[in-house]
Chains A and B, each alone.
Chain A
Amino acid sequence: MVSQTTPAAAPAAPRTEPAPTYQPGIDICDRGTEMVFVADIPGAQPDGIDVRFEDGVLSLEATVARRELPGRIVRQEYGVGNYRRSFRLGDGFDASLISADYRKGVLTIRVPRLAAVRPRKVEVRTA
């Protein structure tokens, strides 16, 4: 079971114009041996993405640099900002084998289950 959670709110630092934070759209699927998270994080850079697994909670955070384009805004249908989202996975995952891959604006995180808790088919032998 996967449930969404929120990290403890950090004390708000005084900033003149804080960048908005968005929750990325995400697909989550269970492949048996691992959980796979696919998140839309357009406009980020790999070194601006922070993926953590602590106390059974997987969290992803991405800082997106502002795109300062010249000219006046004629139409604005979406905002640009940072991304943050987290999920409670619980135990049974191997934190040391978690991998994250970012390409084409899509972040894919693979969280493998510990070998001991993977689903396993037991052969039934006959005498």
Chain B
Amino acid sequence: MPTFRAGFPLPFDFAPQLEELRDELDRVWTTLSAPLAARAGEAGFPPVNVRETDDAITVEAELPGLESSDLDISVADDALVLKGSRPEGGPQPAAGDGERKPTVTWHRRERGTGTFERRIPLPVAVDAGRVEAQLVNGVLTVTCPKAPQCQPHKVVVRAG
């Protein structure tokens, strides 16, 4: 990951501000220098990583804060469809003292909430009845076994 590092000791008074500026530049740079596929993926949430083995397609996505019940996964027309929503959780105000209204002041809100739907084309036909998904610590893994006709057929070479 690229970082903007000062190659010399910074004057004490300015160091913290420069570090903060550098952090923000890092964030911008990371976004701009992301692979093209990732930037294209910004049109669709969540971003996914897809792998292919001889007998299955595996789709991974990071969905922190979601429960299995927040997700709706289906296969339609050789595409995997991920639907879901991230509820607007977040801290509640401290209990008021009766007369004064409790308040919450947000300093940053970078985590998105709301609903999403994404259709991920699959490179081969899959066996929709055997698709399995698991969600562990915010990471979703969907395993889509290939349809039998799409699995490689191993030809045994006989000795003469």
- A residues within 8 Å of B by Cβ? 1-6, 9, 20-23, 25-34, 36, 38, 40-45, 67, 69-78, 81, 88, 104-106, 121
Contacts and interface: CB of A to CB of B under 8 A. Distances in A.
B37 interface: yes
Given A45-B137, A105-B138, A69 B58 contact: yes
A75 B91 contact: no
A3 B1 CA distance: 22
A38 B90 CA distance: 8
Contact of A21 (B1, B16, B38, B65): B1
Contacts of B50: 73-76
B135 to A, nearest CB: 8
Given A26-B111, A121-B100, A78 B93 contact: no
Contacts of A36: 91
B109 A27 contact: yes
A75 B105 contact: no
B98 to A, nearest CB: 9
Given A40-B65, A71-B53, A77 B38 contact: yes
A70 B51 contact: yes
Nearest to B49: A76
Contacts of A25: 110-112
A105 B103 contact: no
B100 to A, nearest CB: 6
B51 A72 contact: yes
Interface residues of B, number: 57
Contact of A71 (B20, B52, B112): B52
Contact of A2 (B22, B63, B107, B111): B107
Contacts of A44: 137
What 6 pairs across the A-B complex have the smallest Cβ distances?
A105-B138, A105-B64, A42-B138, A77-B47, A71-B53, A77-B41
Contacts of A5: 16, 19-20, 23
Contacts of A27: 90, 106, 108-111
A42 B49 CA distance: 14
Among B41, B60, B91, B103, the one with the most A-chain Cβ atoms within 10 Å of its Cβ is B91
A118 to B, nearest CB: 9
A43 B23 CA distance: 23
Given A5-B23, A28-B107, 9 more contacts: A4-B20, A6-B20, A23-B23, A42-B62, A76-B38, A77-B48, A81-B1, A88-B16, A105-B63
Interface in B46-81: 47-53, 56-58, 60, 62-67
B127 interface: no
Among B49, B60, B62, B63, the one with the most A-chain Cβ atoms within 10 Å of its Cβ is B49
